[in-house]
Every structure is written in C-alpha cells, then in structure tokens.
C-alpha cells in the first residue's frame, strides 16, 4: 500500500525570553483524539499552501498571533497515528519571534506558557518525549524521524540528523 500521509505542521512558539513555550492543553472537546494532552500548535496543510504558509496560518488561527522568525527543526513521519490509523507527516517548527497577544484559549483548549525544561513532564503523546528534546536542543541540524503507531500506541522511534 502506498504511503499517502496527511501533511501537517507542528509549531512551538517561544516566549520573548526563550525560556517558555506556548502549548495547547487539549481540554475543550470530549471527542478530541488528543483529549487531556498538551501539544504544540499546528494542523493540516491546505492544497494551496506550502509548509511555512501553513505554519503561519495555523499559529494565527490557534494563538491569534503573527509569526516572525521561525526555524524548521525537523520532520516526523507518523504511520498509523490518526484516529482511524491514518498516516501523518509533520514539519516541526520553532517560532522565535512573533507579534500580537496570544489568545487564552481556542476551540481545542487552553493555551499555556510552559517552561521548556518542564515540557516532558506534561501529559503528552508517548512519542513526544522522544522528539521534543531534539526540538529544543542546541544542535543546529534538522532531525528527521519516523515513529509508527498502532492502536494509539507508539511502536518505535528512529531518527537521523543532517
């Protein structure tokens, strides 16, 4: 069967001092596949946009702010991750500069500033603990990982950096 993933972006907005990251606590909808978990901001790529345009749009829609400087930190393939086992391919960004005042919440949940060093202590997808340290480390190289899921559980993690 061919690999035909849903293409998406995942962004981590940094505080002005670089010590905190804006996360969404997915607590707004009972039918949410991510209910109770913390996540970065982002979503599906639209047919008429590139991944940078998608990231900017998603941050605007979900946090009410405009992206300035941002960095592509990596990509992750999530075979079988979706609610019905769909494959996902994510482009992971860090947003270092932005303008506006972040919303307090959106349709997915509450937006919260979290100290970077506390992120992996939050209720997260099991696999997030594997790639989040790469998002926030000092290595300038992008990472490219694959993290298969089956029945809502991570099966493995493999990653390369270039």
DSSP 151: T
Is the pLDDT at 64 greater than 90? The verdict is yes
Angle among Cα 39, 67, 12 to the nearest 5 degrees reads 20
Contact 40, 10 (CB under 8 A): yes
Given this model, what pLDDT does residue 84 score? 86
Q: Which of 9-13, 80-84, 105-109 has the lowest mean pLDDT?
A: 80-84
* pLDDT tens-digit map of 71-90: 999 999 999 988 888 999 99
Say how far apart CA 55 and CA 128 lie, in whole Å.
19
Percentage of the chain modeled with pLDDT above 70: 99
Res. 2 pLDDT band, cuts 50 70 90: confident
Task: Name the percent of the chain lying above pLDDT 90.
Answer: 84
CA distance linking residue 110 with residue 104, whole number of Å? 6
User: What is the number of other CB atoms lying within 10 angstroms of the CB of residue 100?
Assistant: 12
Look up residue 131 and give its two tokens.
């790639």
Give pTM, 2 decimals. Answer: 0.94
* Closest to 159 measured CA to CA, from 136, 139, 137, 130: 130
Q: Which residue ranges make up each domain of the chain?
A: 6-161
Structure-token pair, residue 156: 């493995």
Q: 1 or 162: which carries more pLDDT confidence? A: 162
pLDDT score, position 65: 98
Between 1 and 105, the more confident residue is 105
pLDDT at 76 (0 to 100): 98
CATH for 6-161, options being 3.90.79.10, 3.40.50.1100, 3.40.640.10, 1.10.287.130: 3.90.79.10
| Residue 121 pLDDT class (50, 70, 90 cuts) | very high
H/E run at residue 24 = strand 20-25
Structure confidence at residue 96 (pLDDT): 98
Q: What is the pLDDT of residue 126?
A: 86
């Amino acid at each position: 069967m061919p690999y035909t993933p849903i293409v998406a972006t995942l962004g981590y907005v940094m505080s002005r001092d670089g010590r905190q990251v804006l996360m969404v606590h997915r607590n707004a909808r009972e039918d949410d596949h991510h209910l109770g978990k913390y996540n970065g901001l982002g979503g599906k790529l639209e047919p008429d946009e590139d991944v940078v345009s998608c990231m900017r749009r998603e941050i605007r829609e979900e946090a009410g702010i405009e992206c300035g400087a941002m960095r592509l930190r990596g990509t992750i393939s999530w075979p079988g991750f979706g609610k019905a086992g769909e494959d996902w391919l994510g482009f992971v960004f860090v947003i270092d500069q932005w303008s506006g005042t972040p919303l307090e919440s959106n349709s997915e949940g509450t937006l919260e500033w979290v100290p970077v060093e506390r992120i992996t202590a939050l209720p997260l997808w099991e696999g997030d603990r594997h790639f989040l340290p790469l998002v926030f480390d000092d290595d300038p190289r992008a990472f490219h990982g694959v993290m298969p899921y089956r029945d809502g559980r991570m099966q493995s993690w493999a990653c390369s950096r270039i």
